[in-house]
Structure 1
Amino acid sequence: MIGQVLVCGRAVPALAEVVAEGVHHLPERPGKADVDPLLPAEGQAHLVVVGTDADLAAVVLRLLRKEKLASTTIGYVPAEESSAVASLWDLPTDTDRAMALANTGDVDPVPLLRDDAGGVLVGRGELGPVRGVAYCDDEVALRGQASRIVVEADDTGGPGLVAQVTRGAVFKRRITYSGRAFQLGCVPAIPTYDGVRHPRPMKRWTWYRHTEDLRLVRGLA
């Protein structure tokens, strides 16, 4: 299942020796002009993204915009050991092991999250400190102050996402909610998604499960 390898930002030294013919070096968080020319006009495709969680999200966003999520499988080689995607979906962070899995593993579709600003979330979303009212589906998740809110895809086969709301600065109380959507109305705050800060404070923010899953390679063949 060897496909095109998209090396985003910094290069991985041993990578060129492994898959010399299919490597494309792209900028950090590649955009339309970088990714779209590499996507086939029709048929199935396999991409291996080497980079940060934000790089992976940028590539996945192009697949969503081009309506190619259903026809594209994604292997991921994290450039950072702290990758939330790797932790969430139990992916190796060692380059050689990650590359081997990305090219030979089984596809295991996972929930893909979107936000109401037109982006996607593949790893971890965060807000805080924040004051406002939040709902996870129809359940009140916050009314008042939270020191931190963390949202990730649900890795347990649940409805789509899990949100952990932490209240209290000294005596912290963490409550976890699960649902298809997490909606927040608040005093302006800056969301962070896959390690990237939103460019401006937001009064409202929503993460929700997309109708299509991400066809992620994460199982051993």
Structure 2
Amino acid sequence: MRGVVLACGEAAESLVVPEGVRLHALPSRPGKAEVDPLLTAELVVAGTDADLAAVVLRLLRKDKLGTTRVGYVPVGGRSTVAAIWKLPADPAAAMDLALTGSAGSVPLVRDDAGGVLLGRGVLEQPRGVAYCDDSVAFRGEASSVVVRPDTEGLVVTITRGTLFRRKETFRGRAFQFGGTPLSPLSDGVAYPRPMQRWTWYRHTHDLRLVLPSR
């Protein structure tokens, strides 16, 4: 069994870890003061996608992405991260994988405000112009934009219309939006102020995430 377990928010109340595994209870979306003293070469994060993103952000800031193996145990609702990378939904199975599995490289998506996106980014009712790499993703209005990491970088789903919804998908390394101010959502957390411009893009270094065997 490998790794220090960081149980975020309500995860600490229900989480069961094997004997001998160190568990640290942290608040939801922990910050520098809570996370940095606990960073080791092998981490397990239990909580929501936003909790995982908070810990990964600290790895990024401390330049430890390439040297840290990260296991993830989704707790507290549906996890887009688990769905993308096919992690177990059952907490016990997810814990076993996180502690014993091998890490693979997965793209890490950043934004131009200094944050990271691990599961699902959303722009609600954007109005303006957006690009995925060099392609125009939309011009004018859309019902929503959803951005997720994928094996090559990121995948963007544009939804238009209300009664008759039309969807279009783009794949690339970067998504850029400019237009009417809005508050982007990253892993369920709204940016604290409206932004006229927003970018999600693939970072130069990947995340070493523990994945199921293929």
> Scaled by the length of structure 1, what TM-score is found?
0.93
Cα–Cα, structure 1 residues 19 and 216, in superposed 2: closer, same or farther, change >3 Å? farther
Q: Whole-Å Cα distance in 2 between the matches of residues 117 and 190 of structure 1? A: 12
Q: Whole-Å Cα distance in 2 between the matches of residues 85 and 14 of structure 1? A: 19
Q: Whole-Å Cα distance in 1 between the matches of residues 83 and 168 of structure 2? A: 20
Q: Whole-Å Cα distance in 2 between the matches of residues 205 and 20 of structure 1? A: 44
Could you say which residue in structure 1 is the equivalent of 2:102? 106
Q: Whole-Å Cα distance in 2 between the matches of residues 12 and 93 of structure 1? A: 18
The AA in structure 2 aligned to 1:4 is V
Q: Whole-Å Cα distance in 2 between the matches of residues 46 and 12 of structure 1? A: 22
**What secondary structure, in the 3-state scheme, does the structure 1 residue paired with 2:113 have?**
coil
Q: Is 1:120 aligned to residue 116 of structure 2?
A: yes
User: What is the percent sequence identity of the aligned residues?
Assistant: 61
Could you say which residue in structure 2 is the equivalent of 1:220? 213
Could you say which residue in structure 2 is the equivalent of 1:176? 169
Could you say which residue in structure 1 is the equivalent of 2:7? 7
Could you say which residue in structure 2 is the equivalent of 1:139? 135
Could you say which residue in structure 2 is the equivalent of 1:205? 198
Q: Deviations over 1:34-58 (max 9, x none)?
A: 1111124xxxx11000000000000
Q: Whole-Å Cα distance in 2 between the matches of residues 27 and 128 of structure 1? A: 28
Could you say which residue in structure 1 is the equivalent of 2:25? 25
Could you say which residue in structure 2 is the equivalent of 1:196? 189
**What secondary structure, in the 3-state scheme, does the structure 2 residue paired with 1:215 have?**
strand
Could you say which residue in structure 2 is the equivalent of 1:89? 85
Q: Is the 8 A contact 1:77 1:95 kept in 2?
A: yes
Task: Point out where structure 1 has 5 or more consecutive residues left out of the alignment.
Answer: none
> Scaled by the length of structure 2, what TM-score is found?
0.96
Q: Is 1:51 aligned to residue 47 of structure 2?
A: yes
The AA in structure 2 aligned to 1:38 is L
Cα–Cα, structure 1 residues 172 and 23, in superposed 2: closer, same or farther, change >3 Å? same
Q: Deviations over 1:6-65 (max 9, x none)?
A: 00001243424x24541011111011001111124xxxx110000000000000000000
The AA in structure 1 aligned to 2:161 is G
Q: Whole-Å Cα distance in 2 between the matches of residues 55 and 98 of structure 1? A: 16
Among 57, 70, 73, the alignment partner of 1:74 is 70
Q: Is the 8 A contact 2:7 2:23 kept in 1?
A: yes
Q: Is the 8 A contact 2:5 2:21 kept in 1?
A: no
Runs of 4+ in 1 over 6 A off after TM superposition: none
Q: Is the 8 A contact 1:116 1:207 kept in 2?
A: yes
Superposition CA RMSD, Å:
1.4
Task: Point out where structure 2 has 5 or more consecutive residues left out of the alignment.
Answer: none
